[in-house]
Amino acid sequence: MSRTLPTLPDGRILDVVRAPSHVLSVSGSPVDPADPAMVQLCADLVATMRISPGCVGLAAPQVGVSAQVFCVDVSAHPKTRTMHGLIVLVNAEILEASRNEKAREGCMSVPELTGDVKRATKITVAGQLPLTGERVLISTDAFEARALQHEIDHCAGMLFLDRVVGAHAVYPRKMYLKPPDAGGNAR
């Protein structure tokens, strides 16, 4: 990202909407990045993403708001190669994309499933920063590129399930429990 993300207000933790909620299948509206409600929404998305284990991105439709707003931060994910830290964008669009590669994806709005999705391995995204409205370009690859495409899809009313390579490529999400304690209870 060419510029530093403006300081956002304190975020609130919001409930994440699950499929088949209608808001997840509607293309979000472009928004004014300086609108105080949108700036607060950006902060709320970041706060909600941060408290959600394993979450690397969250879009406005996932919290019930049909708007083109999302955040991504792949910094702590083991699959990360290139990273720009916390990315919060409004009205984002993909300008360039390279060849596709298949990989497994999951989503907080579809918590029971994962699926194999083909996505570009290198992308350039344009969007606006919240508060200032400054236009930024982000060029990235690998896992961060996948995460950005996933969130841009949410803003366009799509779930990863809309892009799976076939019914055979949808899987139940594996839930890992900690080993039982001495009393036989999972910790």
Average pLDDT, the chain: 92
**How many other CB atoms are found less than 10 A from the CB of residue 10?**
8
Q: What is the pLDDT of residues 55-112, one digit of tens each?
A: 999 999 999 999 999 999 999 988 888 999 999 999 999 999 998 999 999 999 999 9
Q: What is the pLDDT of residues 14-52, one digit of tens each?
A: 999 999 999 999 999 999 999 999 999 999 999 999 999
- Which of 22-31, 89-98, 145-154, 170-179 bottoms out in mean pLDDT, i.e. has the lowest? 170-179
pLDDT attached to residue 120? 98
Give the pTM. Answer: 0.90
Asked whether residue 160 carries a pLDDT value surpassing 80, the answer given is yes
Q: Is 146 exposed, middle or buried (0-12, 13-18, 19+ CB in 10 A)?
A: buried
With contact defined as beta carbons under 8 Å apart, do 112 and 128 qualify? no
Tell me, yes or no, if 112 is annotated catalytic. no
Asked whether residue 3 carries a pLDDT value surpassing 70, the answer given is no
Distance CA 95, CA 42 (A): 22
- Given the residues 112, 134, 144, 151, select the one marked as catalytic: 151
Asked whether residue 1 carries a pLDDT value surpassing 50, the answer given is no
Peptide bond into 6 cis (omega under 30): no
- Banded pLDDT at 2 (limits 50, 70, 90): very low
Distance CA 152, CA 165 (A): 19
- Banded pLDDT at 179 (limits 50, 70, 90): low
Instruction: Show me where the domains of the chain are located.
Output: 22-172
Rg, C-alpha atoms of the chain: 17
Q: Does CATH place domain 22-172 in 3.90.45.10?
A: yes
